[in-house]
Amino acid sequence: MAPIEEHGLSLPLATDLIEGEHWSKDVMLKLEEREGYNCFYLPSFPIAAASVSEFYGCIHFSMSTTYAVARELLDNLIHMGFMNIVIIASHADPVHQIAVEKAIRRVNKHYGIRAISPLGAFFSLEELGIKHLSPKMILEMAKKYPNDFHAGWIETSSMIAMNEKLVREGYREIPRTFISGREIISKKKQLAAMGEYGHLGNPAVADKVLGELLNQDIAEFITEAVKSFVKRENYKIYMHHFLYRIPFLHLGFIRKTKWRKTGKKVSK
């Protein structure tokens, strides 16, 4: 589950979906070859919540809609008899992760433990204290070019490694944009930092080798999370994004706020 969403000047609108599909299929192969699992794959669902949507190309849904779709999707699969369901929510925005995780928590409470969405944990490894050692090259890049939140060197490298034909030429001439980890929670500051470019980070330093490492790193993380989940051993550390514990980000808060039409004013 991921959105149709702008990804700067060089990446396709379906970037999050393409990444999720690639990681899913890679993980399935690893699980089948290493563990002998029998895996099944569903097509992508282009439905996701987001905190910022004032850019052309973004098709986002509310947290409550995202929650409802995820919950009903899980209901269908559970009634078919599936005992181990993995949602790859390949859109890092915490409001999307929380909406999906709340749906999973609801069905797990009702039917028993059946589903997991491990990417919320991956996107907040440090905050959760999960031990996961990424390749040295990735750690060095993260230190040198931090806060690469959207369509920067991380996603551009990832996409180059998946299919470089989908990355528009000229990404090395795109200037770096910057926003701090504290400022990222402000919608106004996000839009100001993205400016006319639509990215948060540094796509100019993207690299194919780096992308291959990034894709393998996340696939290995998901693989380990799924193995733990199937065995029901130490899987709870993979269940939630670290911001899940903040009450005002949850659906109860969203439902109580008055709905208002958005999209009247759109950035360049």
**Residue 91, both tokens:** 């859109």
For residue 3, the model assigns a pLDDT of 96
**Residue 257, both tokens:** 């706020």
Q: What is the percent of the chain with per-residue pLDDT over 70, rounded to a whole number?
A: 92
pLDDT digits (tens, 9 = 90+) for 175-188: 999 998 888 778 88
Cα–Cα distance measured from residue 255 to residue 252, given in angstroms and rounded to the nearest whole number: 5
Look at the block and give the residue holding tokens 């709905």.
259
Q: Is 60 exceeded by the pLDDT of residue 254?
A: no
pLDDT digits (tens, 9 = 90+) for 181-216: 888 778 888 888 988 899 999 999 999 999 999 999
**Residue 132, both tokens:** 């996961």
pLDDT digits (tens, 9 = 90+) for 217-232: 999 999 999 999 999 9
Q: What is the mean pLDDT of residues 92-96?
A: 93
Which pLDDT band, with edges at 50, 70 and 90, does 262 fall under?
low
Cα–Cα distance measured from residue 100 to residue 226, given in angstroms and rounded to the nearest whole number: 17
Q: Is 80 exceeded by the pLDDT of residue 267?
A: no
pTM above 0.75, yes or no: yes
For residue 265, the model assigns a pLDDT of 53
pLDDT digits (tens, 9 = 90+) for 8-58: 999 999 999 999 999 999 999 999 999 999 999 999 999 999 987 677 889
Cα–Cα distance measured from residue 175 to residue 168, given in angstroms and rounded to the nearest whole number: 15
Q: Is 50 exceeded by the pLDDT of residue 259?
A: no
For residue 251, the model assigns a pLDDT of 61
pLDDT digits (tens, 9 = 90+) for 116-147: 999 999 999 988 899 888 999 999 999 999 99
For residue 247, the model assigns a pLDDT of 75
**Which residues on adjacent β-strands are paired with residue 252?**
none
CA neighbor of 194 nearest in space, from 118, 267, 134, 87:
267
Query: How crowded is residue 217: how many other Cβ atoms within 10 Å of its Cβ?
Result: 17
- Output 202 or 264, whichever has higher pLDDT: 202
Q: Is 50 exceeded by the pLDDT of residue 260?
A: no
- Output 166 or 51, whichever has higher pLDDT: 166
Which domains, from first to last, does the chain contain? 15-253 (3.40.50.10310)
For residue 252, the model assigns a pLDDT of 52
For residue 257, the model assigns a pLDDT of 42
**Residue 178, both tokens:** 């910057």
Task: Name every residue whose Cβ is closer than 8 Å to that of residue 60 and which is 6 or more positions away in sequence.
Answer: 3, 5, 48, 49, 50, 53
Cα–Cα distance measured from residue 84 to residue 225, given in angstroms and rounded to the nearest whole number: 12
Cα–Cα distance measured from residue 89 to residue 36, given in angstroms and rounded to the nearest whole number: 24
